[in-house]
Amino acid sequence: MKAKLNFKHTTIACYAGYITQAVVNNLAPILFIVFQQKFHLSYDYISMLIAINFITQLIVDVLSVKLCRVFSPRTLTIVAHICSATGLICMGILPMLCPYTFLVLALSIVLYAIGGGLIEVMISPIVEAIPEDENTNRAAAMSLLHSFYCWGQMGVVLISTIFIALTGYELWFILPVVWSLIPAFNAIAFFFVPISLTSDEGHEGISHMKELFKKGFGFILIIMLCAGASELAMSQWSSLFAQRGLLVSKSVGDLLGPCLFAALMGTGRVLYSKLASRLNIINVLCACSGLCIICYVTAALSDNAIFSLIACGICGFSVAVMWPGTYSLSTATIPGGGTGMFGIMALAGDLGCCSGPFVAGMVCNGIISGGGSEGIGMKAGFGVAVIFPVMLIAGALLLRALHKKKS
């Protein structure tokens, strides 16, 4: 079977890998309202669940720099999918068996976050390593790859919302178990597809890291952190924001909030994959960050629920290029950085994914604890999150200035 498969099958498996990561990162937010009502989890506990996911991924990112030198990419990718499937199954089963709901949810999240972290580190360099004649436009391929995260997110939101609308909250535990089938089958696929990426033995040591930072890698890490924070602060909270802050139904809120967010983010990434060769990535990152600022400000200040929901959706388009664009920017700026470079970038991105929604959630909880309403609290959280796209613009302009000075 292995001999019959080619790099097109590898690419398809990588697409499915990003769909798995979308499930890992976006299923729980759809169930936050269930966790609140059924298990009585407050905003601070929900914020901690978000943080646990991305802190675990952060730890995996740090460890992956070493793991990539010891284990083959195939082994790490298979383990990633097995952990993702196991964590999702545990999320559906353990809360029904154990009274310590927060602890078992946290354990489940740790398991699938290990998988999500490894997927983030391994999938992009696997695609980057596909031979040139199979994949000639790296920036386009990277953007198209990351668009499958968006289609996965859209599918998770749409299918899960429809399921809950038809069956109610009582059967919520079926969802994680069903979604676990995707990483389970993809783990099998990665046993057989060809992988040209090798272990990262040639890129190690402090000298290699110093060389990366001399080329502006520090600014790339700032951009990556802000990309993750700008994307996740909105995508993690938009469903609950629509229901609690804007007082619309769960179905309407999910469709006009996270579902529209994912659809427009995917559209933006596909569009960029077609235009990548003709665009300056730093200009694109700055323009998208400007639009992101407008979206966050609108969601924070508008009294019109429809305008706020549309702003949440358009925010998906504004952040579309940030994550894959930063990967492409790094390979163009620092060619030959190795898998370790991707691991450190994933670390910065996941730090942003953790800090963005966590900061927004803590601001919201602080407002509510002080006597404010849920709507005012969540709007305040989005208002504070504006700092991330602002910092992204600053990082991009500083990177450009550095390279103009060197040239």
Answer yes or no: are the C-beta atoms of 221 and 343 closer than 8 Å. Answer: no
pLDDT tier at 135 (50, 70, 90 boundaries)? Answer: very low
**In the chain, helix, strand, coil percent, each to 5?**
85, 0, 15
User: Quick one: pLDDT at residue 338?
Assistant: 64
Domains along the sequence of the chain with CATH: 2-406 (1.20.1250.20)
pLDDT tier at 2 (50, 70, 90 boundaries)? Answer: very low
Residue 330 neighbours by CB under 8 Å, 6+ apart: 217, 220, 337, 341, 345
Average pLDDT score over residue span 4-23: 89
Q: What is the pTM of this model?
A: 0.76
Helix (H) or strand (E) holding 273: helix 260-275
User: Quick one: pLDDT at residue 391?
Assistant: 96
* pLDDT at residue 340 is higher than 90: no
Please indicate whether residue 208 or residue 347 has the higher confidence score (pLDDT): 347
The CA–CA distances, whole Å, from 214 to 233, 307, 344, 349, 407 equal 31, 44, 15, 20, 14
User: Quick one: pLDDT at residue 189?
Assistant: 94
pLDDT tier at 75 (50, 70, 90 boundaries)? Answer: very high
Please indicate whether residue 347 or residue 81 has the higher confidence score (pLDDT): 81
Answer yes or no: are the C-beta atoms of 175 and 92 closer than 8 Å. Answer: yes
In 3-state terms, what secondary structure has residue 165? helix
* pLDDT at residue 13 is higher than 80: yes
Structure confidence by residue, pLDDT tens digits, 260-312: 888 898 899 888 888 877 888 899 999 999 999 999 999 889 888 788 888 88
Structure confidence by residue, pLDDT tens digits, 158-184: 898 889 888 888 899 999 999 999 999
Answer yes or no: are the C-beta atoms of 7 and 194 closer than 8 Å. Answer: yes
Average pLDDT score over residue span 63-70: 80
Answer yes or no: are the C-beta atoms of 108 and 123 closer than 8 Å. Answer: no
Q: Mean pLDDT score of the chain, rounded to an integer? A: 84
Task: Identify the CA nearest to 24 among candidates 48, 63, 57, 60.
Answer: 57
Please indicate whether residue 184 or residue 204 has the higher confidence score (pLDDT): 184
User: Quick one: pLDDT at residue 202?
Assistant: 45
User: Quick one: pLDDT at residue 21?
Assistant: 92
User: Quick one: pLDDT at residue 406?
Assistant: 64
User: Quick one: pLDDT at residue 137?
Assistant: 59
Answer yes or no: are the C-beta atoms of 265 and 320 closer than 8 Å. Answer: yes
User: Quick one: pLDDT at residue 1?
Assistant: 44
* pLDDT at residue 337 is higher than 70: no
* pLDDT at residue 28 is higher than 60: yes
Please indicate whether residue 352 or residue 214 has the higher confidence score (pLDDT): 352
Percent of the chain with pLDDT over 70: 90
User: Quick one: pLDDT at residue 394?
Assistant: 95
Please indicate whether residue 276 or residue 93 has the higher confidence score (pLDDT): 93
